[in-house]
């Protein structure tokens, strides 16, 4: 008969027999390999979708794709069309759309591939295509003439439209406008399989979006989690990697400075003094527009988001002065 031992026997032999098996710790090399594989899986896994019904506005089908837009107001005064910057959307004009619409029709639209507009894999995202789409949009909305309000890339598009269709533009409002430099792309990177998805996974992450926005705002405390979410949501829609690839393969338009004297409509230039992308000295280049006036605002690259009351009041006074 085998002797009976207590579970807590002090017998050295038995203690060695009942001692639980110890797990061997992972080596640093194995742990690094696991972490690397996890990181690659995260980067290459498709970005989570945002449901289509999350779009806050309406859609209109134009040549090239469906365009998302928001609208407010009505009245006899000249309509306003708000054009966002690169990487932004109608969300950028959340403080302006309604505030400018007391006695006029105001529209904000997402450029093709941006915001909630259609993400066309092989779409034409050139500046000339943007001009053509804006004309089609105005035609479909029965807008004969409008005041174009453009932020950054939207400012460049507004200027290009004014050069192509001067009879359709009543005035321009440029907010830290692009158009005086040539944007550079790197299409070589996107020839690597999965590169666009990897880049999107990084740039659409909450820490990166927050960091970029804080660098663009003069007062980083204004970059709340609501603002971060507003910019992130469109970046996480299906089809964005294809848009990124198409954008990097699109020829950048030449600077418009030499053509500015050919634009004869009234123009209000509003510029954030602390813009890290376009120094305030760049604002004075747009005074080449005949009759342009310049307002410097204590803000960064997005004065209409950072100082909306100042910007809205300046736009309304400008329109009233011009009889628009």
Specify the pTM: 0.82
- Residue-wise DSSP of 250-310: SPPPPP-GGGGGG--S-EEEEEETT-SSS-HHHHGGGGGSTT-EEEEESSSS-HHHHSHHH
Strand order in the sheet with 146-151: 58-62, 65-72, 104-109, 77-83, 146-151, 169-175, 267-272, 293-297
Q: Can you tell me the mean pLDDT for 284-294?
A: 94
Query: pLDDT at position 15, please?
Result: 42
Q: Can you tell me the mean pLDDT for 289-298?
A: 95
Q: Alpha-carbon distance 125 to 97, whole Å?
A: 25
Total domains in the fold of the chain: 1
pLDDT reading at 122 higher than 60? yes
Cross-strand partners of 221: none
- Asked whether residue 3 is assigned to any structural domain, the reply reads no
Q: Alpha-carbon distance 47 to 22, whole Å?
A: 40
Residues 5-46: pLDDT tens digits? 344 344 443 344 444 445 455 555 655 544 444 444 444 445
- Asked whether residue 168 is assigned to any structural domain, the reply reads yes
Tokens of 22: 């110890």
- Percent of the chain with pLDDT strictly greater than 70: 78
- Asked whether residue 199 is assigned to any structural domain, the reply reads yes
Tokens of 13: 């032999």
- Asked whether residue 42 is assigned to any structural domain, the reply reads no
Residues 228-279: pLDDT tens digits? 999 999 998 988 888 888 887 787 788 899 999 999 999 999 999 999 999 9
- Asked whether residue 215 is assigned to any structural domain, the reply reads yes
Of residues 76 and 7, more confidently modeled: 76
Query: pLDDT at position 7, please?
Result: 42
What is the CATH number for 293? Answer: 3.40.50.1820
- Asked whether residue 2 is assigned to any structural domain, the reply reads no
Residue 105 domain boundaries: 58-321
Q: Alpha-carbon distance 208 to 201, whole Å?
A: 10
Helix segments in the chain, DSSP class H:
12-18, 28-44, 127-140, 153-164, 195-203, 206-216, 225-235, 240-248, 280-283, 303-306, 308-321
Query: pLDDT at position 8, please?
Result: 38
- Asked whether residue 195 is assigned to any structural domain, the reply reads yes
- Asked whether residue 140 is assigned to any structural domain, the reply reads yes
């Amino acid at each position: 008969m085998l002797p009976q031992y207590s579970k807590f026997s002090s017998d050295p032999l038995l203690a060695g027999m009942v001692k639980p098996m110890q797990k061997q710790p992972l080596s640093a090399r194995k742990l690094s390999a696991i972490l690397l594989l996890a990181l690659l899986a995260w980067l290459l896994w498709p970005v989570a979708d945002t449901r289509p019904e999350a779009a806050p506005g309406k859609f209109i089908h134009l040549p090239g794709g469906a365009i998302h837009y928001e609208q407010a107001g009505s009245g006899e005064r000249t309509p306003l069309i708000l054009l966002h910057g690169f990487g932004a959307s109608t969300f950028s004009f959340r403080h302006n759309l309604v505030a400018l619409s007391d006695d006029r029709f105001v529209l904000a639209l997402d450029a093709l591939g941006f915001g909630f507009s259609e993400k066309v894999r092989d779409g034409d995202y050139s500046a000339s295509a943007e001009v053509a789409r804006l004309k089609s949009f105005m035609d479909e909305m029965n807008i004969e003439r409008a005041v174009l309000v453009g932020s950054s890339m939207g400012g460049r598009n507004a200027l290009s439209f004014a050069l192509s269709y001067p009879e359709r533009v009543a005035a321009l409002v440029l907010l830290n406008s692009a158009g005086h430099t040539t944007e550079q792309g790197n299409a070589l990177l996107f020839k690597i399989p999965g590169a666009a998805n990897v880049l999107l996974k990084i740039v659409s992450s909450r820490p990166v979006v927050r960091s970029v926005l804080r660098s663009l705002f003069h007062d980083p405390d204004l970059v709340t989690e609501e603002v971060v979410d507003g910019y992130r949501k469109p970046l996480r829609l299906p089809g964005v990697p294809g848009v990124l690839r198409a954008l990097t393969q699109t020829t950048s338009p030449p600077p418009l400075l030499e053509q500015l004297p050919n634009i004869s409509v009234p123009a209000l230039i509003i510029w954030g003094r602390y813009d890290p992308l376009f120094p305030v000295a760049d604002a004075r280049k747009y005074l080449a527009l005949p009759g342009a006036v310049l307002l410097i605002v204590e803000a960064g690259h997005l004065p209409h988001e950072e100082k909306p009351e100042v910007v809205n009041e300046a736009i309304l006074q400008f329109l009233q002065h011009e009889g628009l």
